[in-house]
Amino acid sequence: MLAIAAAIVFGFALLLDLFDTDLGAPDLFNWQTLVLIGLTLLALYLGGVGQGSRTGTGRRFYGRRSSRS
């Protein structure tokens, strides 16, 4: 999920750079700030944040389930 958010931020930063706009707030929405936000989200994703627990909780069924009659 964080990788998708990073891709959206990077795409938005690219559009701002291509259209050469600052959306009326040059100190808040410049491309450097958006690139840093995108890199932060990407680093969090690669660091394993937001992926949930992988401790074996939950029920997993591999193969056929036995009948319960």
Q: How many domains does the chain have?
A: 1
* SS3 of residue 36 by DSSP: helix
33 within domain boundaries: yes
Asked whether residue 21 is assigned to any structural domain, the reply reads yes
- Domain extent, residue 27, equals 2-46
Whether the Cβ atoms of residue 6 and residue 42 lie closer than 8 Å to each other: yes
Q: Is residue 22 part of a domain?
A: yes
pLDDT at site 68:
66
Residue 38 lies in a domain: yes
In a domain, 39, yes or no: yes
19 domain-assigned: yes
**Distance (Å, rounded) from C-alpha 51 to C-alpha 1?**
8
At residue 60, φ and ψ (nearest 5 deg) are -125, 135
Residue 64 domain flag? no
What's residue 28's pLDDT? Answer: 77
Give the pLDDT mean for 4-13: 86
| pTM, 2 dp | 0.59
In a domain, 17, yes or no: yes
Q: Please choose, from the candidates 30, 42, 40, 37, the residue with its C-alpha nearest in 3D space to the C-alpha of residue 1.
A: 42
